[in-house]
Amino acid sequence: MISPVLSEEDISLDLVTKGKQSALSKIAVRIARRTGLDEQMVLRGLFDRERVSSTGIGRGVAIPHALLGTISSPVASLTRLAQPIDFEGPDDDPVDLIYTVLWPRSATSAFLPALSQICRLFRASQVREQLRQARSSDEALAILETEPHQEFPPICILPMPGLAL
Protein backbone atom coordinates (compact mmCIF):
# COMPACT_ATOMS: atom_id res chain seq x y z
CA MET A 1 0.00 0.00 0.00
CA ILE A 2 2.70 2.52 0.93
CA SER A 3 5.05 2.11 -2.04
CA PRO A 4 2.63 2.27 -4.98
CA VAL A 5 0.99 5.42 -3.60
CA LEU A 6 4.07 7.29 -2.42
CA SER A 7 7.04 8.43 -4.50
CA GLU A 8 10.10 10.56 -3.68
CA GLU A 9 8.30 13.65 -4.97
CA ASP A 10 5.57 13.10 -2.35
CA ILE A 11 8.04 13.36 0.53
CA SER A 12 8.90 16.69 2.10
CA LEU A 13 11.57 16.84 4.78
CA ASP A 14 11.95 19.63 7.34
CA LEU A 15 8.93 21.69 6.31
CA VAL A 16 8.68 24.93 8.29
CA THR A 17 5.18 25.66 9.60
CA LYS A 18 3.52 27.87 12.20
CA GLY A 19 1.12 25.22 13.48
CA LYS A 20 -1.49 22.67 12.48
CA GLN A 21 -3.45 24.83 10.02
CA SER A 22 -0.26 26.10 8.43
CA ALA A 23 1.05 22.54 8.06
CA LEU A 24 -2.20 21.24 6.53
CA SER A 25 -2.35 24.23 4.17
CA LYS A 26 1.22 23.74 2.93
CA ILE A 27 0.67 20.00 2.52
CA ALA A 28 -2.60 20.58 0.61
CA VAL A 29 -0.90 23.07 -1.73
CA ARG A 30 1.95 20.65 -2.37
CA ILE A 31 -0.41 17.73 -3.08
CA ALA A 32 -2.60 19.88 -5.34
CA ARG A 33 0.36 21.14 -7.37
CA ARG A 34 1.77 17.66 -7.72
CA THR A 35 -1.50 16.00 -8.76
CA GLY A 36 -3.39 18.79 -10.52
CA LEU A 37 -6.18 18.66 -7.92
CA ASP A 38 -7.96 21.79 -6.77
CA GLU A 39 -6.06 23.27 -3.82
CA GLN A 40 -9.19 24.44 -2.01
CA MET A 41 -10.91 21.07 -2.41
CA VAL A 42 -7.91 19.25 -0.90
CA LEU A 43 -7.65 21.75 1.92
CA ARG A 44 -11.40 21.65 2.63
CA GLY A 45 -11.34 17.84 2.73
CA LEU A 46 -8.47 17.78 5.22
CA PHE A 47 -9.88 20.59 7.39
CA ASP A 48 -13.38 19.06 7.40
CA ARG A 49 -12.00 15.74 8.63
CA GLU A 50 -9.79 17.45 11.21
CA ARG A 51 -12.82 19.30 12.63
CA VAL A 52 -14.46 15.94 13.46
CA SER A 53 -11.47 14.96 15.61
CA SER A 54 -7.72 15.22 15.46
CA THR A 55 -5.93 12.82 13.14
CA GLY A 56 -2.94 12.80 15.48
CA ILE A 57 -2.34 9.16 16.45
CA GLY A 58 0.32 9.76 19.09
CA ARG A 59 4.10 9.42 19.33
CA GLY A 60 4.63 12.49 17.16
CA VAL A 61 2.60 11.21 14.19
CA ALA A 62 -0.53 12.50 12.46
CA ILE A 63 -2.40 10.91 9.55
CA PRO A 64 -4.68 13.59 8.09
CA HIS A 65 -6.99 12.12 5.47
CA ALA A 66 -10.02 12.83 3.32
CA LEU A 67 -12.37 10.94 1.05
CA LEU A 68 -12.78 12.79 -2.25
CA GLY A 69 -15.25 12.15 -5.04
CA THR A 70 -12.97 13.75 -7.64
CA ILE A 71 -10.09 11.27 -7.55
CA SER A 72 -9.92 7.72 -8.89
CA SER A 73 -6.80 6.51 -7.10
CA PRO A 74 -5.22 7.22 -3.69
CA VAL A 75 -2.86 10.14 -3.20
CA ALA A 76 -0.41 10.36 -0.31
CA SER A 77 2.39 12.48 1.04
CA LEU A 78 4.85 12.19 3.88
CA THR A 79 5.97 15.38 5.59
CA ARG A 80 8.59 15.72 8.28
CA LEU A 81 8.35 19.06 10.03
CA ALA A 82 11.37 21.17 10.93
CA GLN A 83 9.82 21.81 14.37
CA PRO A 84 7.12 19.65 16.00
CA ILE A 85 3.66 21.22 16.33
CA ASP A 86 0.60 20.66 18.48
CA PHE A 87 -1.83 18.39 16.64
CA GLU A 88 -4.16 17.63 19.56
CA GLY A 89 -3.25 13.94 19.49
CA PRO A 90 -4.25 11.41 22.16
CA ASP A 91 -0.92 11.64 24.01
CA ASP A 92 -0.44 15.42 23.58
CA ASP A 93 3.01 14.80 22.06
CA PRO A 94 3.85 17.40 19.41
CA VAL A 95 3.77 16.06 15.86
CA ASP A 96 6.71 16.08 13.47
CA LEU A 97 5.70 13.25 11.07
CA ILE A 98 2.58 13.74 8.94
CA TYR A 99 1.38 11.09 6.50
CA THR A 100 -1.47 12.58 4.48
CA VAL A 101 -3.90 10.39 2.53
CA LEU A 102 -6.54 11.38 -0.02
CA TRP A 103 -8.75 8.46 -0.93
CA PRO A 104 -11.33 8.05 -3.73
CA ARG A 105 -14.87 8.04 -2.35
CA SER A 106 -15.62 5.34 -4.94
CA ALA A 107 -13.25 2.94 -3.12
CA THR A 108 -14.36 3.54 0.46
CA SER A 109 -14.35 -0.17 1.36
CA ALA A 110 -10.57 -0.34 0.86
CA PHE A 111 -9.90 2.84 2.84
CA LEU A 112 -10.05 1.59 6.43
CA PRO A 113 -7.78 -1.42 5.79
CA ALA A 114 -5.27 0.91 4.09
CA LEU A 115 -5.48 3.43 6.93
CA SER A 116 -4.99 0.63 9.42
CA GLN A 117 -1.84 -0.50 7.60
CA ILE A 118 -0.45 3.03 7.66
CA CYS A 119 -1.18 3.29 11.40
CA ARG A 120 0.59 0.00 12.07
CA LEU A 121 3.60 1.17 10.08
CA PHE A 122 3.92 4.36 12.14
CA ARG A 123 3.39 2.54 15.45
CA ALA A 124 6.80 0.92 14.96
CA SER A 125 9.31 3.04 16.88
CA GLN A 126 12.16 2.09 14.52
CA VAL A 127 10.21 3.44 11.53
CA ARG A 128 9.51 6.75 13.26
CA GLU A 129 13.10 7.17 14.40
CA GLN A 130 14.57 6.26 11.01
CA LEU A 131 12.23 8.73 9.29
CA ARG A 132 13.29 11.43 11.75
CA GLN A 133 16.93 10.75 10.83
CA ALA A 134 16.44 10.38 7.05
CA ARG A 135 18.66 12.72 5.06
CA SER A 136 16.73 12.60 1.80
CA SER A 137 13.36 11.76 0.28
CA ASP A 138 14.71 8.61 -1.33
CA GLU A 139 16.10 7.47 2.04
CA ALA A 140 12.70 8.09 3.69
CA LEU A 141 10.94 6.17 0.90
CA ALA A 142 13.37 3.26 1.29
CA ILE A 143 12.58 3.11 5.02
CA LEU A 144 8.85 2.87 4.27
CA GLU A 145 9.34 0.27 1.55
CA THR A 146 11.64 -2.07 3.47
CA GLU A 147 9.73 -2.36 6.74
CA PRO A 148 8.11 -5.79 7.27
CA HIS A 149 4.57 -4.47 7.74
CA GLN A 150 3.08 -7.71 9.05
CA GLU A 151 5.18 -7.54 12.22
CA PHE A 152 3.64 -4.31 13.48
CA PRO A 153 1.17 -4.44 16.34
CA PRO A 154 -2.38 -3.90 15.07
CA ILE A 155 -3.03 -0.89 17.27
CA CYS A 156 -3.94 2.54 16.01
CA ILE A 157 -5.78 5.09 18.10
CA LEU A 158 -7.46 7.29 15.54
CA PRO A 159 -10.73 8.64 16.90
CA MET A 160 -13.42 8.28 14.27
CA PRO A 161 -16.75 9.20 15.84
CA GLY A 162 -19.45 7.67 13.72
CA LEU A 163 -16.72 6.71 11.26
CA ALA A 164 -16.67 10.25 9.94
CA LEU A 165 -14.01 9.71 7.33
Is residue 30 over pLDDT 50?
yes
pLDDT of residue 147: 60
> Sorting pLDDT into bands at 50, 70 and 90, what band is 154?
very low
Pick the closest to residue 99 from 78, 85, 113 (CA basis).
78
> Sorting pLDDT into bands at 50, 70 and 90, what band is 53?
very high
Q: How far apart are CA 71 and CA 65, in angstroms?
A: 13
- Please identify which of the residues 20, 65, 120, 123 carries the catalytic annotation: 65
> Sorting pLDDT into bands at 50, 70 and 90, what band is 4?
low
Query: Per-residue pLDDT averaged across 6-10, rounded?
Result: 90
- Record the pTM: 0.88
Query: Per-residue pLDDT averaged across 104-122, rounded?
Result: 93
* Active site (annotated) includes residue 149: no
